[in-house]
Amino acid sequence: MRQTASPSNTPVQSSGRKKSKNAVATDVFIAIDPSDLGQDFSKYYVVCRVYRSLNSASNTVEVRIYTKDNTSAFNGRQAVAKAFGFGYHRSSAALHDAITMMGIELKYPIDGVGEEAMTEAIAAIAKDICGVERPVVIKTHL
């Protein structure tokens, strides 16, 4: 599937919530421009952090996503979303909600689909919103 992203007509919602004290970061996705390598490795365009609750009864996942354009610091697009429950991929569900809160529409929904869909969505945002010609998404486990 070829994912694309575009600004939506939906107003950007506020996302000023703080990270839960009972959560631990488990994954980080970073979209970079490979043409920047060797010049300035600190140029990243999309950062997505996944947090999991330490409370096993709640089974909550929180996703924070930030974007910036290719000329300045963060361009104001950021969001936090949570998903909880059982029986579906909570990280991609929370990322889908966060992307929607940022005022971005994806061509294909990633709600509960999985990590590959998350990676494709982050790459699409880096390309279509941040202006990176050929983005590379790096995923790290913490």
pLDDT, tens digit, for every residue of 88-128?
999 999 999 999 998 899 999 999 999 999 999 999 999 99
Query: What confidence category does residue 1 fall into, taking pLDDT thresholds of 50, 70 and 90?
Result: low
Q: Report DSSP state, residue 113.
A: T
Q: For residue 95, give every residue at least 6 positions away whose Cβ sits within 8 Å of its Cβ, in sequence order, or none.
A: 48, 50, 63, 65, 81, 110, 118, 121
Give how far the C-alpha of residue 8 lies from the chain's centroid of Cα atoms, to the nearest Å. 16
pTM given for the model = 0.83
